[in-house]
Amino acid sequence: MTTTDAIIVEPTQEQIATVTKSRRMLPNTTVMNGPCAYLATERRRLAALQYEHFEVTQLSATIGGEIQGLDLTGPLSDEVIAEVRKALHDYKVIFWRNQPLTTDQHVAFASRFGSLETHPFLPPNTNQPELVRFAKNVNTSGYENGWHHDVTWRAEPSMGAVLHAITVPAVGGDTLFADMYAAYDGLPDDIRERVNTMTAEHDFMSAFGRLLPKGERDEMRERYPLVEHPVAPRHEATGRRYLYVNRYFTSRILGVSEAESIELIEMLSRQADYPEYQCRYRWQNDSVAFWDNRAVQHYAASDYWPEKRVMERASVIGNRPSV
């Protein structure tokens, strides 16, 4: 039987809900087990999408699309940019191969989607302050191998980020992305209802405080005070709720005890771990990724030391998350 001969089953929403409720928690854990039936609707929606200016290959059930037929090094019309934005909202993270961007071209492309931020703690490209440079080798190790949204400690965190692979190892150094809509949808009903009204505090200090000389910490705290964001905001473009908690920057959940806050942060952060919500991208030189920093978390696999891996990222300033 070929793929085109396969029988397509169209489940009803009632069937999806019934199968979803059959999921259960493994004994003595907070790990859910069973079919992720709630992914079916989004998986089918993505499979049916078509675009005017390019083609997209769906990479996993609900997240990740690789675009063919678009050259990011050349001029792009407003109509093409609008369709790229739509693909970003649809697939949450989109990818291109064979895009030998110069630093000017990288900045120019990312700027079509909004103003670019400069990162106060990470080193820039020497010619373009808007580009954060991640250069790892035998002497420099990476600490990005944990699930996170970028810069949630900002009052207005990134809307998205464009990452260009300059030099990558032959094996290793993949980046994984997790669908935080699916992570929210997969919560038990009672937890989902609770987080709808919860607020979390975010702080740069646990991730970047160790990089600062003691005398600069007070100055940076004044520039970047603690901020509060909803635990489950609504995406400003899609209207869908997503989980907005991560182990790097979420310091506490407000309105609960310290012990419960720690437990909740861990349980909610754990939702990104499910492979059913993920896609994994194997880099090649001059691959490009553009992710929605609200709809996804990402994780850079640190399995390539002592090989060389050089990436540059431009981040687009977003709005404050809200419900």
- Cα separation, 214 vs 209, in Å, equals 9
Q: Give the total number of structural domains in the chain.
A: 1
Instruction: List Cβ<8 Å contacts ≥24 apart for 218-227.
Output: 220/120, 223/120, 224/120, 224/153, 224/154, 226/201, 226/202, 226/251, 227/152, 227/153, 227/154, 227/155, 227/201, 227/202
pLDDT of 88: 98
| Amino acid, res. 10 | E
Residue of 154, 229, 241, 313 with catalytic role: 313
pLDDT of 7: 65
Residue of 90, 106, 119, 148 with catalytic role: 148
Q: Determine, yes or no, domain membership for 297.
A: yes
Q: Is 298 a catalytic residue?
A: yes
Tokens (6 digits) for 290: 């553009």
Specify the CATH number for the domain of residue 95.
3.60.130.10
Q: Is 150 a catalytic residue?
A: yes
- Cα separation, 293 vs 298, in Å, equals 9
pLDDT of 109: 98
Q: Determine, yes or no, domain membership for 188.
A: yes
pLDDT of 79: 98
For residue 39, with 0-12 CB atoms within 10 Å meaning exposed, 13-18 middle and 19 or more buried, which class applies? buried
Q: Determine, yes or no, domain membership for 4.
A: no
Residues of the chain with pLDDT under 70: 1-8
Q: Determine, yes or no, domain membership for 5.
A: no
pLDDT of 2: 41
Q: Determine, yes or no, domain membership for 242.
A: yes
Q: Determine, yes or no, domain membership for 3.
A: no
Residue of 150, 185, 286, 292 with catalytic role: 150
Residue of 164, 294, 298, 309 with catalytic role: 298
Q: Is 313 a catalytic residue?
A: yes
Residues 6+ apart with CB under 8 A from 296: 63, 92, 93, 149, 177, 178, 179, 180
- Cα separation, 95 vs 291, in Å, equals 9
pTM here? 0.94
pLDDT of 123: 76
Rg (CA), the chain: 20
Q: Determine, yes or no, domain membership for 116.
A: yes
Q: Determine, yes or no, domain membership for 1.
A: no
**Contact of 288 with 112, CB cutoff 8 Å:** no
Domain of residue 269 covers: 11-317
